[in-house]
Chain A
Amino acid sequence: AQSVTQLDSHVSVSEGTPVLLRCNYSSSYSPSLFWYVQHPNKGLQLLLKYTSAATLVKGINGFEAEFKKSETSFHLTKPSAHMSDAAEYFCVVSDSSGTYKYIFGTGTRLKVLA
């Protein structure tokens, strides 16, 4: 069965400093992995996706993530945080076994300090 664990429920960074949001996954099949962002009272926006191509994935707004099979991790990073990055971030796993559904992590709320 698939699962995903987001290791931090809250992360605070200062504007201009690096962001690291951690995610570990478990999947019996070749996983597809995603990061989504949710701003207050909004839906979910896709940041980036890993679908068995390059292990270093670049997304929108300067975010990137590295798929590490040996560590079953898919951490999200950004070199320099911006105030507009403050939001909730969700790591998502879906496998190729034909379930057609996403398994969401519990979310990490990112706070960016001026």
Chain B
Amino acid sequence: KAGVTQTPRYLIKTRGQQVTLSCSPISGHRSVSWYQQTPGQGLQFLFEYFSETQRNKGNFPGRFSGRQFSNSRSEMNVSTLELGDSALYLCASSLDQRGYLTYGYTFGSGTRLTVV
């Protein structure tokens, strides 16, 4: 079956702009998480959604937001982009509300965002 699909794969934006990244989880998966990966900070948790509800949020400014739709697809939005937002953004999905513990997350290939 299809894996976790993230679009677009690459994105170049200018400082001050906003961006929306999309994630389609594996069919049947209801939990979706987002992570930011940078060389300096490594992999950091952004937020997690289950059945359209945000259950946890990482330590990121309010410029970072997300949502999940009824079909479990998720989007994340970054407003007023800064150079430091340049990163690989990874989406991950899991089967159910405890799947992250029992099955592990399945990650997408990520969206590489470059802010210039």
Task: Decide if B2 is an interface residue (CB 8 Å cutoff).
Answer: no
Q: Does B104 contact A (CB under 8 A)?
A: yes
Enumerate chain B interface residues (CB-CB to A < 8 A).
4, 31, 33, 35, 42-45, 48, 50, 55-56, 58, 90, 92, 97, 100-110
Residues of A within 8 A of B (CB): 32, 34, 36, 42-46, 49, 51, 90, 94, 96, 99-107
**Contacts between chains A and B (CB distance < 8 A), count:** 56
List 13 additional A-B contacts (Cβ < 8 Å) besides A34-B104, A102-B43: A32-B100, A32-B102, A43-B4, A43-B107, A43-B109, A44-B90, A49-B103, A96-B101, A100-B33, A101-B45, A101-B100, A102-B100, A103-B45
| Bound CA–CA A107/B50 (angstroms) | 28
Q: Are A106 and B42 in contact (CB under 8 A)?
A: yes
Q: Given the complex, which residues of A lie within 8 Å of B108, measured CB to CB? A: 43
B101 x A32 contact (CB < 8 A): yes
Complex Cα–Cα for A105 and B43 (A): 8
Chain B contacts of A43 at CB under 8 A?
4, 90, 107-110
Partner of B42, one of A32, A101, A107: A107
A–B pairs, 25, beta carbons within 8 Å: A32-B101, A32-B102, A34-B104, A36-B107, A42-B109, A44-B92, A45-B107, A46-B104, A46-B105, A51-B101, A51-B102, A90-B43, A94-B100, A96-B101, A100-B50, A100-B55, A101-B45, A101-B100, A102-B33, A102-B43, A102-B45, A102-B105, A104-B42, A104-B43, A104-B44
